[in-house]
Structure 1
Amino acid sequence: MSVPEHLLYTKEHEWVELKEDYAIIGITDYAQSQLGDVIFVEFPETGADIGCGTPFGEVEAVKTVSDLFAPLSGKVLSINEAIESAPDLVNSDPYNKGWLIKISPSKYEEKKDLMSANEYKNFIS
């Protein structure tokens, strides 16, 4: 199970990559393996405000439908449009080509509630 060291994680199995002025959000390798084959992702609108801990979309897989929870508050800058035509990227490459949204975080202090890679590894084991 892949858990990249440079990312931060939530208990709902989202990951966050913090950049200088934006953050990239996706679901973890563990999450995609539990969901099974992803067939559709419901995204928020570009420009929408999302709140930390609140649902911002859904992942529909063969096994189930699961809410996506925002790890940080902010404004949606972009969605990964490649997922719309190839949702299986969430399964095959969850940390790179399978990212979901980019946001402009409004409350960087919320990152203190996220887990490091080691904490997340312990959480899922």
Structure 2
Amino acid sequence: MQEWSIILSAMGLAVVILSSVIGLVWKLSRIELALRSEFGKAVSDFQDEHTREIGEMKAAHAKETAELHAKVYQVEIWARDEFVRKNSFEIVVARMERGLSELRGDITGRLDKMSEKMDRQK
């Protein structure tokens, strides 16, 4: 009989050990699932934050690029206008110089004619 009691005690001990191990494994698996869930959430939050920051940087870069493009356009327009103004000014000055030369020649010619007439009348 003593043998049976040892066998039953051993079986009872095996059941207790087995149930404890199964309970421990079940608890560890739940902890692992909770940790994975929290880690996944943390990774997702990090990715969302990272994506938001990248979006903000892209928006700031796009704004700076647009401002730079506008400035370059303004400089191009200014250079074009200044070139045209300078060129036009030079053309106008050349015309005026020719006009003044012709006017000086006409005035000199008329003064010569007047002096000749005055000399003849004397």
Higher-strand-fraction structure: 1
TM-score w.r.t. length of structure 1:
0.11
Of the two, which has the highest radius of gyration? 2
Higher-helix-fraction structure: 2
Q: Which has the higher contact order (CA 8 A, sep 6+)?
A: 1
TM-score w.r.t. length of structure 2:
0.11
